[in-house]
Amino acid sequence: MNEHPEAAAAHADHDAVHAAPTEQIDVRTGELAGRSTDPSTAGTAGTVRPRAAGGHVIEDGPDGPGPAPYVTLVLPCYNEGAHVLQELDRCSRVLEAADFTYEILCIDDASTDDTLEVLRSAQQRYPHLRVLPFRRNGGSGTARRIGTQQARGEIVVWTDADMTYENEKIPDLVRILRDDPTYDQVVGARTTEEGTHKWARVPAKWLIRKIAEWLTKTRIPDLNSGLRAFRRDVSLPYLRLLPAGFSCVTTITIAFLSNQHDIRYVETSYAKRAGVSKFHFVNDAYRYILQVLRMVMYFDPLKVLMPPALWLVVIGVVKAVVDMVRHPFYFPASTVLLVVSGIMIGSLALLSDLVVRSRDGV
């Protein structure tokens, strides 16, 4: 059958377009987030750095990334320019003295001070330093999640750049994982509280920790310590659960415990932070509680929903018996509401548990 003249003309135009030579497009650097240099084009002007897995651009030192290390230290940085060099020096010193290879992956979370410039200049002094700049502020949870995804080490270490954690113990945490395969995570459990609003933080953290212990049936000395080491391959399925804020450390603790990954706790000290705290007591404490309940709902919804459902039904039945004795065959609306609410919550608990158990992944 002959081809229609209009279709033949369209095919000819299509072939002509694809046969034409591709025009070379110049790539120019721009100013992003108040910086003089586009993070994706740092280095030689007009040269775009290769994109890492996930589309993130990691800036390496003059010697390149080097061979894959055993440990990756993920260090989120947001407006830490005044003291980030001290933290880098401290971490590099203890890791250099350790008996394993390492890299330090610093994530600049769109800082508004000179943190990114300080990190870039530090790459001349610290050959194992890699820098991942963000264009938009994503929060410490986002920085830790992406940093863990981009880590090349078998063991990933989380800590902060505010001089609070006892980072001299990082090699000890790593050695526990290296020497004892039964543990998948080691946490530096703080023995003191030096944060802001101490009078309110201590009882709030205690309450949240007790809720998490009851829900996970595990003793948790420190639920939200930011100093921890874990096996990267074990953590990968849970990274999508991490929230953007501070409660990411709580999330990864509950995720590991809920799936029978053993965690070991090592006592560490906790110093007063350098710079200004980004923690907001009311908002972050509220998010902590929600995140604990969300994580247990994700892994074991019956533990959260079934107790109140049963209590409502029991109270409603007892009240119905009392109402029957006082006023035969008369049940007030409050009695009916108690029983119906309990049945509805119980049905929701069973349905949620069915969804959890039918999931293929974690």
Q: Residues 162, 273: contact at Cβ < 8 Å?
A: yes
Question: Hey, what's the torsion of the CAs at 266, 271, 276, 282, to 10 degrees?
Answer: 60
39-58 pLDDT tens trace: 434 443 333 455 666 678 89
Dihedral sign, Cα of residue 170, residue 192, residue 222, residue 251: negative
Helix (H) or strand (E) holding 346: helix 333-357
Mean pLDDT for the chain? 82
Dihedral sign, Cα of residue 48, residue 49, residue 55, residue 57: negative
Residue 196 is predicted with a pLDDT of 56
Whether domain 39-299 has CATH 3.90.550.10: the reply is: yes
Nearest alpha-carbon partner for 40 in 131, 173, 103: 131
Nearest alpha-carbon partner for 94 in 151, 154, 167: 167
Instruction: Give the separation between CA 121 and CA 183, rounded to whole angstroms.
Output: 37
12-27 pLDDT tens trace: 454 544 444 444 434 3
Residue 25 is predicted with a pLDDT of 37
Phi, psi dihedral angles at 163 (to 5 degrees)? 70, 20
Under DSSP, the state recorded for 59 is: B
319 — pLDDT class (breaks 50, 70, 90): very high
227-267 pLDDT tens trace: 999 999 999 999 998 988 768 898 999 999 988 999 999 99
Radius of gyration of the chain, Cα coordinates, nearest whole angstrom: 27
Residue 244 is predicted with a pLDDT of 82
Phi, psi dihedral angles at 195 (to 5 degrees)? -75, 175
Q: What is the number of other CB atoms lying within 10 angstroms of the CB of residue 184?
A: 19
239: left (phi over 0), alpha (psi -120 to 50) or beta: alpha
37 — pLDDT class (breaks 50, 70, 90): very low
**Once rounded to an integer, what is the mean pLDDT over residues 335-355?**
94
Instruction: Give the separation between CA 186 and CA 227, rounded to whole angstroms.
Output: 9
187-202 pLDDT tens trace: 999 987 665 556 666 7
Count each helix (H run) and each strand (E run) in the chain, helices first. Answer: 11, 7
71 — pLDDT class (breaks 50, 70, 90): very high
In angstroms, how far apart are the furthest CA atoms of the chain? 93
> How far apart, in Å, are the Cα atoms of 118 and each of 30, 82, 88, 125, 270?
20, 9, 11, 11, 25
Identity of the amino acid at 22? T
> How far apart, in Å, are the Cα atoms of 205 and each of 189, 242, 282, 303?
13, 19, 12, 21
Q: Residues 317, 339: contact at Cβ < 8 Å?
A: yes
82-125 pLDDT tens trace: 999 999 999 999 999 999 999 999 999 999 999 999 999 999 99
Q: Residue 72: beta bridge partners?
A: 103, 156
Residue 56 is predicted with a pLDDT of 81
222 — pLDDT class (breaks 50, 70, 90): very high
Q: What is the number of other CB atoms lying within 10 angstroms of the CB of residue 183?
A: 16
Find the range with the poorest average confidence among 143-157, 213-227, 286-300: 286-300
Instruction: Give the separation between CA 195 and CA 200, rounded to whole angstroms.
Output: 10
